[in-house]
């Protein structure tokens, strides 16, 4: 194989994405969505009462947990 062809093959191999390239753009968007969900969840948490028997006491933990799951999915997304 000539030097030009060999260099072209090497350059093509370098440009290809590998699984260890980091977080993709889609992953960052999903992570951002999860962070926004966390902020909303903690704001909802401020509306709970000490007895824990109102709507915010039920909704806010669910939103917070789903937001953490969303962030995890964003980290592993391709």
**Distance in angstroms between the alpha carbons of the first and the last residue of the chain:** 35
Confidence of residue 18 (pLDDT cuts 50, 70, 90): low
Average pLDDT over every residue of 5-22? 62
**Which stretches of 1-78 are DSSP H helices?**
3-15, 25-45, 55-76
HEC string for 45-66: HCCCCCCCCCHHHHHHHHHHHH
Domain extents in the chain: 18-76
Confidence of residue 21 (pLDDT cuts 50, 70, 90): confident
Measured CA to CA, the distance from residue 37 to residue 9 in angstroms comes to 45
What pLDDT was estimated at residue 54?
A: 93
Tokens standing for residue 16: 């290809």
């Amino acid at each position: 194989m000539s030097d030009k062809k060999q260099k072209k093959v090497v350059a093509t191999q370098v440009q290809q994405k590998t699984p260890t390239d980091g977080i993709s753009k889609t992953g960052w968007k999903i992570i951002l969505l999860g962070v926004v969900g966390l902020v909303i969840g903690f704001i909802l948490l401020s509306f709970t009462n000490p007895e824990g028997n109102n709507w915010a006491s039920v909704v806010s933990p669910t939103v917070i947990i789903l937001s953490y799951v969303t962030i995890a999915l964003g980290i592993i997304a391709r």
